[in-house]
Structure formats: C-alpha cells, structure tokens
Amino acid sequence: QVQVVESGGGLVQAGGSMTLLCTVSGLTFDGHTMGWFRQAPEKEREFVACIDWSGDTPYYADSVKGRFTISRDNAKNTLYLQINRLKPEATAKYFCAVAHTGWDIGLFAAAISPTFGYWGQGTQVTVSS
C-alpha cells in the first residue's frame, strides 16, 4: 500500500518563505522521480517541479524558477519544496506525485500527469498581501 502525504502548508505573507514536505511509504523511494504540482481555485492543475532519483536533475516550471527549490532526502523517504519570495499567485493546493521511473525523464514528461502514478491529497498554501 503506497502512501503519499504532504505537509508544511499554511498562511504566509507575500515575500515570505516556507518549506513543503512529502513523505512516502510503501515503495522504494529512491527508485522514483518525484514531483510537485499545484492547483489554484478555478484553475487546472499545473506542474511546479520534479527531481530524479539521485537529486541530480531537477526541473522547474518557468513561473517558479529562481524562487522554488526542490530537493530530496532518500534516507528519510522525504521530498521537499523550499519556496522563497512568495507571491500571491502562489496560492494553491500543492500536490506531491510519484513517477513510474527514477531516471531523468526530461522537462516535457515531467510536466504531464501520466508520468506520475501516485498522488497525495495536497497541502494548502495561502499567500496574503
């Protein structure tokens, strides 16, 4: 039984920082590329970032480059998303996703949902002005 659990969301003022966490159980964590997606009210789910099994190959959506950092600790079965200089448009529910493979999948594959087989329930990030 695979479990994917996000945490770390909350209310933060614009310009602030926060770290999201995703813990995974029920599979070999270091055998999978991991990703973050988000969905804002009245909008479609969109790709945020992903990282290969080793942590050597991260990809980011253009909208978050320079402000978001994805990382992982395979010894802890944990994925992280460090968010700096938060903007109000970052307000969304953030989802952790587990890919079918651990290899470098490329930016195109990283940005589409079929690449990922397991999803968490999400953690809400709200950025106030």
pLDDT, averaged across the chain: 95
- The three-point CA angle 118-121-122 to 5° equals 110
Is it the case that residue 69 has pLDDT exceeding 80?
A: yes
Q: Which pLDDT score, from 0 to 100, does residue 94 have?
A: 98
Amino acid in position 9: G
List, in order, residues 6 or more apart from 22 with CB less than 8 Å away: 4, 5, 6, 7, 34, 36, 78, 79, 80, 81, 96, 120
Best CA proximity match to 64, nearest among 103, 44, 92 = 92
pLDDT digits (tens, 9 = 90+) for 73-119: 999 999 999 999 999 999 999 999 999 988 878 888 888 888 999 99
